[in-house]
């Protein structure tokens, strides 16, 4: 296992910068996970956390997980204004096999601007070049066409369907597409 250490100025993309959260981001995170589109398609383990609980996670738990090379919960921010635009998570790290999984969501007001694909593409470059990964993967509900297009713009390719893979917010089972990006593919 290796630590996940971002540059001091974060991961800078064309439109966004990806960096750890700040304590003051907790209030907005609490509000955003209530967005119906986020709730429907994104499995957010901390979706029911209070502001105080999220503040603790931001200050203590999430940095510890990054230092241990377990999970990276990162903010997606506007490159110019530093406005919080979304969330990127890397998890399922298999350091020996050189693979991990990514997930994300983008705030309603920032959707459709290429923010998510820029963030996923930029994190992918970091994972390949700095962390030494060979494969990144992502899963998306077959009905979540916007997420599928985001992944494709970020260089991921669809591999197949994982039947009855997830549970939607209404309790129904859902098939998911599996996407991957391989380091040496352009």
pLDDT, one tens digit per residue, over 163-176 is: 999 888 788 899 99
Average of per-residue pLDDT across 99-120? 94
**Residue 14 backbone phi and psi in degrees, to 5:** -75, -35
Query: What integer pLDDT is reported at residue 40 of this predicted model?
Result: 66
**pLDDT tens track for 14-36:** 999 999 999 999 988 887 777 77
Pairwise CA distance, residues 94 & 52, whole Å: 31
For residue 20, list its beta bridge partners: 74
More confident residue, 126 or 167: 126
Question: DSSP alpha helices (H): ranges in the chain?
Answer: 26-32, 36-41, 51-56, 62-68, 115-129, 145-153
**pLDDT tens track for 130-153:** 999 999 999 999 999 999 999 999
The answer to whether 124 and 100 have CB atoms below 8 angstroms apart is no
Q: Which two tokens stand for residue 178?
A: 């599996």
Pairwise CA distance, residues 175 & 165, whole Å: 5
Per DSSP bridges, beta strands 99-106 and 135-141 are: parallel
Adjacency order of strands within the sheet including 157-167? 11-12, 16-20, 72-78, 84-94, 99-106, 135-141, 173-182, 157-167
Query: What integer pLDDT is reported at residue 91 of this predicted model?
Result: 96
Q: Supply the pTM of this predicted model.
A: 0.93
* Other C-beta atoms lying within 10 Å of the C-beta of residue 46: 15
> CA of 29: how far to CAs of 52, 87, 138, in Å?
11, 9, 22
Domains of the chain (ranges plus CATH)? 11-131 (3.40.630.30)
Task: Give the pLDDT band of residue 1 (cuts 50, 70, 90).
Answer: low
Average of per-residue pLDDT across 84-102? 96
Query: What integer pLDDT is reported at residue 64 of this predicted model?
Result: 95
């Amino acid at each position: 296992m290796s630590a996940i250490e971002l540059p001091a100025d974060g991961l800078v993309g064309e439109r966004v910068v990806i960096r750890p959260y700040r304590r003051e981001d907790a209030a907005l995170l609490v509000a955003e996970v209530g967005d119906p589109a986020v709730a429907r398609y994104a499995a957010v383990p901390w979706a029911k956390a209070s502001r105080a609980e999220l503040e603790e996670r931001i200050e203590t738990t999430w940095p510890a997980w990054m230092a241990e090379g377990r999970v990276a919960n990162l903010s997606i921010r506007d490159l110019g204004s530093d406005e919080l635009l979304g969330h990127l998570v890397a998890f399922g790290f298999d350091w020996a096999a050189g693979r991990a999984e990514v997930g994300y969501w983008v705030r309603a007001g920032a959707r459709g601007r290429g923010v998510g694909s820029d963030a996923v593409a930029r994190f992918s470059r970091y994972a390949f070049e700095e962390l030494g990964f060979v494969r990144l993967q992502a899963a998306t509900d077959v009905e979540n066409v916007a997420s599928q297009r985001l992944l494709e713009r970020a260089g991921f390719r669809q591999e197949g369907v994982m039947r009855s893979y997830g549970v939607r917010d209404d309790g129904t089972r859902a098939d998911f597409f599996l996407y991957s990006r391989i380091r040496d593919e352009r």
